Structure 1
Amino acid sequence: MIDYRDIINDPRSDPQKRLDALKKLEKPAVPEIKNGEVNNHIHTIYSFSPYTPSMAALKSKEAGLAAAGSVDHDSIGAAEEMIAACGILGIGGCTGFEVRVSFKTGADGKPGPFADRKLNNPDSIGAAYMTVQGIPAPAIPKVRDFLDPIRKERLLRTRKMTESANGILHEAGLPEIDFQRDVIDKSMYNQGGGLTERHLLAALAEKFIEKYGKGPEINEKLALHFGINPPDKLRKALSDPANPHYLYDLLGILKSGFLSRIFIQPGDNECICAKTVTAFADSIRAIPAYAYLGDIGESPTGDKKAEKFEDDYTEELFDELSRLGYRAVTYMPPRNSPEQLRRVQRLCAERGFMEISGVDINSSRQSFNCPEVLQDEFRHLLNTTWALIAHERLASVDPAFGLFSPDNPLGSISLQKRLSVYASAGKELDPKNPGVSIPGIIKKLQEGRYQI
């Protein structure tokens, strides 16, 4: 008997074979979608994740999500498969990518006000993570070309970090990492995927497991070789050989406790100017978004320490985001306090930024659900998701219908009203065959037949 789920989640299978298997899969028993929950920030194998785009869409469907979006580091490789898979499953889909950018240069070309300050990046000063979302389908080849030099620079840096890691492994009497076999070949780099620190740390975790097996001894050896003492919850998880998330738990511990020993700061060719990315996003009618992190306590992904980020100067930062050409802010409702997010929402409204939500899925331990988005203070994020989906589909047919296009026929109305119209349009799209409904939606937009 064919196990279609294995094919759907086989990273070495052709994307079309994964989609064909998804079509043949017996319809899964899934919760009926009643609440409209969404997640716009799901990583796939094209950066670091246990899920192919087809499996990410399927897991989203099985979690009862009404819409799902792929966002990969330095890669748009998942986009076409993700949209097709969401269509097969009858849920909304959207796409994007994530990059690290430099804030060392301001919008005027002079040194920026955040060149020497920490933003949302735990590892670097004057650098930030951002996303570009709602990418029109015809622009995907341009995105690949734009990201390719960044991917290559990151590969070179990761190779150098691997050499540093191998020196430490050698001293500890552990097997060394073969960069080609253990890192590149286990990524999707040769298929257009991004290479991240997690790929290197996964290889390091596998060397630990190869040497010591799975069980309590791992905790002892982490302390002996690296001076790492995992918190009780993770220590218990690593003591259990049957833990199905073992590799991801160990990887998270290494990210928090070891990465700083080998980390190399990205150069200007990898961590390019934020203004360059926002201008590129505008040129293809995509939406550049700053990824708000905020001061955090315990990380929901288990791989970040309690730490201070942008909260001491958020208002000043949002002014700079406006100058740099950002159109949106993306954030994760489970990560922050209500007070933090109320402040972000106020600043977005004052600066005219779209709000985009999503929880970055990159581990088998994480849930695809984000019930916080259903709370009253976040329910508007459901509508912005459908506006994002409508933007992506409509701009794929006519760039003038990008949400922030200077030629948008609705450009004269406020952003909030435009988002409301686009949300209504997004909900009218037929996920299984959106092309059929788009001409009618465009006509309704042109004729002003959506209630504002």
Structure 2
Amino acid sequence: MIKNINELINNLNHDNSSTRLNSLSQLIEMAKSGVYDVVPAGGHVNNHIHTNYSFSPYSPSKAIWMAFKSGLSTAGIMDHDSISGAIEFIEAGKIAGIATTIGIECRTDFSATPLNGRRINNPDQDSIAYVAIHGIPHTQITKVDEFFSKYRYLRNERNKKMIEKINGLIFKTGIQLSFERDIIPLSKFHEGGSVTERHLLYGLSLKLIEKYGKGESLIEALKNHLSIDISKKLLTLLSDCNNPYYDYDLLGLLKSDLVQSFYIDAAEECPPISDLLVFAKEIGGISAYAYLGDITDSVTGDKKAQKFEDDYLELVFDTIAELGFNGVTYMPSRNSPDQLQR
């Protein structure tokens, strides 16, 4: 029975969506019959869940399974520049008996606003901010996909240039990355998914592990060839060759230390915020500014201590109110009680 359950869980990330949904259906039936223990459903909601249609270890079906066994009453898909996982997410929610919401997250250009020149909520670039569109009607999924399709292609042109810069940084390792061979297969790009900076660094993580293995040899390569300063916490994690999240911990380290060395400013792939808000209203979505707040210790492990909107939060709220945003989205696990109270 345990073997069967593990096989079904593994199949939640199968290449075929029908297989994923069928496996989810069987797991839900097992849970309802008491074969598999889950947290009883409560009033908890998470409307900002990434899937592997942007960057995540979870397919839409796997994301719903994780939501179900955690006791969520509502789950919302929120991928970067992509809504292509929405149909499966909706169907998976029906199977699990979980209410679902559909959204999309993207970076937008605030240079024509009073926030121009500021590091808003994007760790890598001034004047560019992350925003979300929540509550997208199911009838508008195709229209949303068409709107963002061109931005995914434009993003890949920049991704290719960043791969060239990464290859320059890692030449001492003897490793070279190919965007088409090493990065695209890690994504759902050919199914309407996006390719993010995390994909680039995850591809690098896998290459580094392939060459150096896990543990001391890799740690020495990171220090000597990439000049990365590894925190005590991450040193412990990367020294543990049995760490089940090893490749993601390595990804987090690379993202926090290397991005500034290869990042190329996003331009054409970021729609002007005024255009995005018009589009959100047109499709009946709920536009939300994504509050980040100053970071001291990153709960996700991929961000350094950095200041963002907290020093000028009043200006942020004045600006988004003037622009016509419907709301603000935030992450209680990332923000302090004082930040949220303010």
Aligned position for 2:37: 29
Aligned position for 1:248: 248
State the one-letter code of the partner of 1:92.
A
Aligned position for 1:5: 9
Aligned position for 1:444: none
- Structure 1: any 5+ residue segments left out of the alignment? 106-111, 344-452
Aligned position for 2:286: 287
State the one-letter code of the partner of 2:39.
P
- Structure 2: any 5+ residue segments left out of the alignment? none
RMSD of aligned C-alpha atoms? Answer: 1.2
Asked if 1:182 is matched to 2:186, the reply is no
Aligned position for 1:16: 18
State the one-letter code of the partner of 1:83.
I
- 5 Å-filtered alignment, 1:342-421, equals 342-343=341-342
- Tell me if structure 1 keeps the 8 A contact 2:170–2:226: no
Aligned position for 1:264: 264
State the one-letter code of the partner of 2:149.
D
Shift in Å, 1:121 = 0.5
Shift in Å, 1:92 = 1.5
- 5 Å-filtered alignment, 1:51-450, equals 51-105=58-112, 112-170=113-171, 172-267=172-267, 269-343=268-342
Aligned residue-pair number: 332
- Tell me if structure 1 keeps the 8 A contact 2:51–2:57: yes
TM-score, structure 2 length as denominator? 0.94
- Tell me if structure 2 keeps the 8 A contact 1:218–1:239: no
- Tell me if structure 2 keeps the 8 A contact 1:217–1:239: no
Question: What are the superposed Cα offsets for residues 269-289 of structure 1, whole Å, 9 maximum, x if unpaired?
Answer: 211111111110100000111
Aligned position for 2:56: 49
Q: Distance in 2 between the 1:198 and 1:64 partners?
A: 28
- Tell me if structure 2 keeps the 8 A contact 1:216–1:240: no
Percent identity over the alignment? 46
- Tell me if structure 2 keeps the 8 A contact 1:72–1:97: yes
Q: Distance in 1 between the 2:94 and 2:55 partners?
A: 23
Report the secondary structure of 2:164's partner residue: helix
Q: Distance in 2 between the 1:115 and 1:197 partners?
A: 23
Shift in Å, 1:217 = 2.1
Shift in Å, 1:6 = 2.1
Q: Distance in 2 between the 1:177 and 1:81 partners?
A: 32
Q: Distance in 1 between the 2:40 and 2:82 partners?
A: 32
- Tell me if structure 2 keeps the 8 A contact 1:54–1:82: yes
Q: Distance in 1 between the 2:173 and 2:123 partners?
A: 30
Shift in Å, 1:17 = 2.7
Question: What are the superposed Cα offsets for residues 234-273 of structure 1, whole Å, 9 maximum, x if unpaired?
Answer: 1111011111101100000000001111100011x21111
- Tell me if structure 2 keeps the 8 A contact 1:295–1:310: yes
- Tell me if structure 1 keeps the 8 A contact 2:173–2:225: no
Shift in Å, 1:19 = 1.2
Q: Distance in 1 between the 2:22 and 2:203 partners?
A: 31
Shift in Å, 1:169 = 2.1
TM-score, structure 1 length as denominator? 0.72
Report the secondary structure of 2:256's partner residue: helix
Larger Rg: 1
Q: Distance in 2 between the 1:32 and 1:336 partners?
A: 26
Shift in Å, 1:4 = 2.1
Aligned position for 1:436: none
Report the secondary structure of 2:177's partner residue: coil
Q: Structure 1: which 4+ aligned runs deviate by more than 3 Å?
A: none
Shift in Å, 1:173 = 3.0
- Tell me if structure 1 keeps the 8 A contact 2:173–2:221: no
- Tell me if structure 2 keeps the 8 A contact 1:279–1:325: no
Report the secondary structure of 1:258's partner residue: helix
- Tell me if structure 1 keeps the 8 A contact 2:13–2:59: yes
- Tell me if structure 2 keeps the 8 A contact 1:174–1:211: no
Report the secondary structure of 1:260's partner residue: helix
Q: Distance in 1 between the 2:100 and 2:334 partners?
A: 23
Shift in Å, 1:161 = 0.4
Question: What are the superposed Cα offsets for residues 113-134 of structure 1, whole Å, 9 maximum, x if unpaired?
Answer: 1111110001000110011111
State the one-letter code of the partner of 1:218.
L
Q: Distance in 2 between the 1:180 and 1:89 partners?
A: 36
- Tell me if structure 2 keeps the 8 A contact 1:166–1:177: yes
Shift in Å, 1:16 = 2.7
Q: Distance in 2 between the 1:342 and 1:173 partners?
A: 47
Q: Distance in 2 between the 1:250 and 1:173 partners?
A: 16
Question: What are the superposed Cα offsets for residues 303-327 of structure 1, whole Å, 9 maximum, x if unpaired?
Answer: 0111110011111111110122210
